Structure 1
Amino acid sequence: MFQQQFGFQRISNSKAEHCCVPFCKASSKYSKVLSFHTFPSDTETRLKWFAAIRRDCSRHFKKEDFRVPVFNTGRRMLKRGAVPELFEWNNYTHPGTEPMVWERKRSHPPLLDHDYASAPDPAVVDLALDENMSLREEILQLRKQIEEQTLNQRFGLHRFAGSDKDIRFFTRFASYDLLMRFWALIEPLLPSMVSVTQAQSGTFTEPSSPATPPLQPIDEMFMFLNYLALGLKWHDLADRYGVRQSTVVRTITTWSDFLYTVLGSVRIWIPEERIKEHLPEEFKDYGDTRVILDFMELRCQPSSPLVQSEAFSACKSHYTLKGLLGVAPHGAVTFISPLYAGSISDKQIMRVCGILSLLRPSMAVMVDRGFLVNDGVPCKIYRQPFLSGRFRMSAYEVRATQANARLSVHVERLIRRVKEHKFFDTEIPPQLIGSINQLYAVACLLTNYENRPLVKA
């Protein structure tokens, strides 16, 4: 079958030569590997040819009958006296002749298909599994080393774990121990945190850059506390933590919403009997005081003309938001109102914020002398000259009564606990206006966790 299919390979030639040996079908028309030779001119040799055959074809000569051609493209020449000896009737073989196509096919048996379903040697499988496990462990170790190197290089809480002074500076928490207690309180609730996407937060887009490893949750919280405690700019926080500014904005927004939900679910208004139990010595002459009230203001950048017209404060000559804050005598924040536009009056805030519904005739509130709200307050109001928003009293006021002086220092320290957050000194950008109430409330509520209460010795 092979001989019939591949036996004759036609080549282009101007003339064709044929072998004259009986039963030989070789022709230069169908094979370019054969050479054809005329009968020799030497009479004796010619007679020998005639005796052997009466035809000329190279495949009937032995390899040693040929002379090596001078050029590779030259025609092979027979040696003098060479006589054809290889014929079909004597089962000729010619190792020097390139086999025909069908001969090559027959000389190379077909390759057997691989049996992919056959089971491999168990020893080979065990060796491969051991090698895979070894490579996997090596990859895990390298990954762990990279994460540790990244962690050591990145700004985060781990750098300041041994310094309560640094913890106080960066977070306003009095000590690392207090910060870790707060973390233990909120960590179990982290799975319920909803991350704010860039589209939801309305932040700007930034050009693409190589991906950076995400921050650990505890470092995200640390970044959020840095923002409140130091009032750092987004660019500064992004450089410190090695992230994008958009990541900083999303982290601040996400954590303000999360902590607002967690901390805001705790009732902070304290019953009268508990206030009396922890009443500081400075308040011995004002034992019925339940809360110290003060107004808090934040500067902002309104995002629309309508908000600008409502937020402009003629007193401050700036766009502001204002809220009412209440602090118990022993230092706990017990009331936080929503923020209102800076153009609203103190009386209006008192009427709508909800504080009046918590006061009873048996109670007393203590306010700054600039706090001129008396109408509608259902209890006694202590308006002392030392509560004037100043950090120091005049020499006359200090000499007037030492008790009032001690009370002055104590109350100012209570209010300063909240205002120590530099967040209150910064100007709130438009991107955070939507989360300003959460940020403000969380900054005030954190005071209850950052410091130990100021109670009687």
Structure 2
Amino acid sequence: MSKRVQKKRVTVEKARKVIEEDNDHHGLRLLKKGAVPVLFAWNGYTQPKSRLSVWERRPPPLQTDSPPADVIDNMDRDYCVTATTGAMASELLDDVETLQRRIRELEAQTEKLHLQSRFGLQRIAGSDHQIHFFTRFASYRHFQYFWRLIEPAVTTKMVRITSVRSNPGASSDTTVHHTHTKLPPIDEFLLFLMYLSVGLYPQDLAERFGIHRTTVSRIIATWTNFLYELLGKKHMWLPQEVVQAHLPPEFAAFPDTQVVLDCTEIYCQTPSDLLLQSEVYSTYKTHSTLKAMIGIAPHGAITFISALYACSTSDREIFKQSGIATLLKPDMAIMVDKGFLVDNLAPCKVYRPAFLSKNSQMSFCKGCASASQREQAV
């Protein structure tokens, strides 16, 4: 009996030793050296089927068609409807209609208050008088016509200013393309026109349009550069035949008048430099101003605008630097003020109104008359 027990123990010890040898890496069973796979699909090996789950072993439940909607309605219980119930339902419907009407009225009032709280074109579009006051356009129709002319360039060519430089010597890296603001572009244009036409301060414009003051400054700088680049390239000078075709009766005695020239001054910010202050200070306006020469056709159309110069620049020098002499021809004539001494600079006749004489007729420039006689003699 003891021998048998001893043999069984040996067998257990051998089996335990074999198991320990086969699982020497953290209990993982490893392949022996030189082992190769021998079970393939071509030699008849198939993987045993997995056992079906509980739901797969059960038969599927029977599906019955749902009854139609009318059957469901018929299955509902009956209700007792009296005259009192019908009257209450009618009153409730009337209350619902009244409340809906009230909601629409409140929505309209809210929209109206929203428009009144924020200044914009829609607020003044119905009044040509307000359009003229805030924009200097004659009517809303004129405003829209000009806007349709520049609108394509607003969306494609406008370069927006992202910061306004207080120091002229600061870095010029202050622009970025196509950066939108809170206001629609047409309201930005209105803000810019109000700044020019009415002279409102940026803080006032910020309160009106519901934006920050620095945003107003950026909008003004952006539109100034944009309109200068866009409109400065437009050729406003009218051909001579067009001016003659629209010559008013008041100019019948001077049919060759091409343009009426005069210099005007506009206010500007007083510079900090003392030398610049002396150059731009106007004793006539008692303020710092810039001067430009404006040319107007006899029928009232603006046909020429020069660059801006310091107010200390003479009219004669502005005429010389503006380049208008290259547009004038010998068979044309210009009309100027008595102090506009450009007789020997203009390549054409010069008409000068006799403001200080009793005779209301225009006087012909003697120098230009003699020049014209010499040309005829040649």
Residues 164, 217 of structure 2: 8 Å contact kept: no
* Distance (Å, rounded) in 1 between the aligned partners of 2:292 and 2:339: 15
Deviation of 1:178 after TM superposition, in Å, equals: 1.2
Amino acid at match of 1:187: E
Matched ranges for 1:10-159 at <5 A: 150-159=114-123
Residues 115, 123 of structure 2: 8 Å contact kept: no
- Partner of 1:272 in structure 2? 240
* Distance (Å, rounded) in 2 between the aligned partners of 1:293 and 1:361: 17
SS at match of 1:378: coil
* Distance (Å, rounded) in 2 between the aligned partners of 1:226 and 1:160: 12
Deviations 1:38-82 (A, max 9, x none): xxxxxxxxxxxxxxxxxxxxxxxxxxxxxxxxxxxxxxxxxxxxx
- Partner of 1:207 in structure 2? none
Matched ranges for 1:394-433 at <5 A: none
- Partner of 1:194 in structure 2? 159
- Partner of 1:357 in structure 2? 326
* Distance (Å, rounded) in 2 between the aligned partners of 1:227 and 1:318: 19
Note if 1:339 corresponds to 2:303.
Answer: no
- Partner of 1:291 in structure 2? 259
Residues 154, 240 of structure 1: 8 Å contact kept: yes
**Greater radius of gyration (CA):** 1
Note if 1:249 corresponds to 2:213.
Answer: no
Deviation of 1:259 after TM superposition, in Å, equals: 1.4
Give unmatched runs, 5+ long, in structure 1: 1-144, 204-212, 389-395, 405-457
- Partner of 2:342 in structure 1? 373
Deviations 1:330-355 (A, max 9, x none): 22211111111122222211211111
- Partner of 2:129 in structure 1? 165
Name whichever of 236-245 and 335-344 sits farther off.
Answer: 236-245
Residues 293, 327 of structure 1: 8 Å contact kept: yes
Amino acid at match of 1:379: C
Matched ranges for 1:159-238 at <5 A: 159-191=123-155, 192-200=157-165, 214-238=182-206
Aligned length: 240
Deviation of 1:304 after TM superposition, in Å, equals: 2.4
Q: Percent identity?
A: 51
Deviations 1:133-190 (A, max 9, x none): xxxxxxxxxxxx9999644520111011111111111111111111111111111111
- Partner of 1:262 in structure 2? 230
* Compared CA separation, residues 328 and 310, structure 1 to 2 (3 A): same
* Distance (Å, rounded) in 2 between the aligned partners of 1:218 and 1:309: 39
* Distance (Å, rounded) in 1 between the aligned partners of 2:110 and 2:161: 28
TM-score (norm. length: structure 1):
0.48
Residues 261, 335 of structure 2: 8 Å contact kept: yes
Residues 201, 253 of structure 1: 8 Å contact kept: no
- Partner of 1:383 in structure 2? 352
- Partner of 1:326 in structure 2? 295
Deviations 1:378-420 (A, max 9, x none): 111111135x8xxxxxxx95xx55x88xxxxxxxxxxxxxxxx
Residues 326, 334 of structure 1: 8 Å contact kept: yes
* Compared CA separation, residues 147 and 262, structure 1 to 2 (3 A): farther
* Distance (Å, rounded) in 2 between the aligned partners of 1:164 and 1:282: 30
Residues 132, 139 of structure 2: 8 Å contact kept: yes
Deviation of 1:318 after TM superposition, in Å, equals: 3.8
* Distance (Å, rounded) in 1 between the aligned partners of 2:235 and 2:339: 29
Amino acid at match of 1:238: A
Amino acid at match of 1:242: G
* Distance (Å, rounded) in 2 between the aligned partners of 1:221 and 1:267: 22
* Distance (Å, rounded) in 1 between the aligned partners of 2:139 and 2:164: 37
Deviations 1:88-125 (A, max 9, x none): xxxxxxxxxxxxxxxxxxxxxxxxxxxxxxxxxxxxxx
* Compared CA separation, residues 315 and 187, structure 1 to 2 (3 A): closer
* Distance (Å, rounded) in 2 between the aligned partners of 1:309 and 1:352: 21
Deviation of 1:327 after TM superposition, in Å, equals: 0.8
Deviation of 1:199 after TM superposition, in Å, equals: 4.1
Deviation of 1:315 after TM superposition, in Å, equals: 5.2
Residues 168, 174 of structure 1: 8 Å contact kept: yes
SS at match of 1:359: coil
- Report which structure shows greater RCO (CA 8 Å, sep ≥6): 1
CA RMSD of aligned residues (A): 2.7
Structure 1 segments of 4+ aligned residues over 6 angstroms from their partners: 145-149
* Distance (Å, rounded) in 2 between the aligned partners of 1:229 and 1:310: 25
* Compared CA separation, residues 202 and 224, structure 1 to 2 (3 A): farther
TM-score (norm. length: structure 2):
0.58
SS at match of 2:196: helix
Deviation of 1:289 after TM superposition, in Å, equals: 0.5
